[in-house]
Chain A
């Protein structure tokens, strides 16, 4: 029984270590290989372009080398969307885990 509780404790510790070692930033949904950030267009420019399209951007950040945007679509859905930081091409859109759009190859 002692060895069982010991192995349980070791497994728990390993699990906790693995969780804390997982990088919090990259969710791995989409990855862009867009080169150095100096070549990227600005996040503000992306937000402005999306606003012009009727999106309401609530938050934007870098994730997996892409721009990740939390926004409300003109049709009202709350979505999480990924854009290429150089071309601003739309790569991926999901609503609470339901994939609405995914560009081929991404």
Chain B
């Protein structure tokens, strides 16, 4: 079955008769480079959790932590790509990642909204939510979400064109948002080691980048800058 499918695909794409293996490689490559597929993969954990909730297999209280963790993971992944490019230079896989940075950032925001949704559902009433907002572990979460909002809203070509150089400044709100996210996670006191391990790669690439700048730039240039 697979053979027949691949052969038909290769004919429609090239008009020639390449080997079935070449055709299979081609379709694998187009899957790897498919942006819609990447969005779908990012949505899978959320769809999985939402499906569990919809069929009553899991309560909102148990969905708060996992949705928050997925938000942090997507945020960290998005923020790793830039420094990695600075560290290792132009690479094929980095271009692949750079083309997906926006998707990761938007996913971080979407999971943060889902996190808020299940939190609100678990709290049940607005008054209780407002009462808790003064707690360090809670306001840091709200503040991180508030900073992620303008980033998410400007994550499109139209906003990029409109804001020009200011666009970069908006995106840099990700740094304070990441710090607030880490504090939110640490202060909620639900596994500090897991929180620190999640953020460790970010610290590592930043340190790597700083080390590279110190050791590789000629002294003259350093003085001039």
Interface residues of A (CB under 8 A from B): 1, 4-5, 8, 11-12, 15, 18-19, 22, 27, 29, 58-59, 70, 76-78, 94-98
Contacts and interface: CB of A to CB of B under 8 A. Distances in A.
B204 A11 contact: yes
B123 interface: yes
A17 B222 CA distance: 39
A7 to B, nearest CB: 9
B61 interface: yes
B189 A94 contact: yes
12 contacts: A1-B88, A4-B87, A5-B87, A5-B88, A15-B201, A19-B194, A22-B193, A27-B190, A76-B128, A76-B131, A77-B131, A95-B132
B57 interface: no
A15 B197 contact: yes
The 7 closest A-B pairs by CB, nearest first: A97-B137, A97-B189, A97-B187, A96-B137, A97-B188, A19-B197, A5-B88
B126 interface: no
A98 B135 contact: yes
A8 B131 contact: no
B132 A96 contact: yes
Contacts of A19: 194, 197-198
A15 to B, nearest CB: 5
Contacts of A22: 191, 193-194, 197
Contacts, number: 66
Interface residues of B, number: 32
Most buried by B among A19, A77, A95, A97: A97
B136 A97 contact: yes
A98 B201 contact: no
**Majority-rule SS of B interface residues:** helix
A78 B123 contact: yes
B178 to A, nearest CB: 16
Nearest to B140: A97
Contact of B201 (A12, A27, A58, A95): A12
B52 interface: no
A19 B195 CA distance: 9
Interface string B194-221: 1001101100110010001000000000
B112 to A, nearest CB: 17
Interface string B119-136: 000110001100110011
A76 B132 CA distance: 10
Contacts of B132: 77-78, 95-96
A78 to B, nearest CB: 7
A70 B123 CA distance: 12
Contacts of B194: 19, 22
Given A12-B201, A27-B189, 4 more contacts: A8-B208, A96-B135, A96-B138, A97-B188
Given A19-B194, A22-B194, A97-B188, A8 B136 contact: no
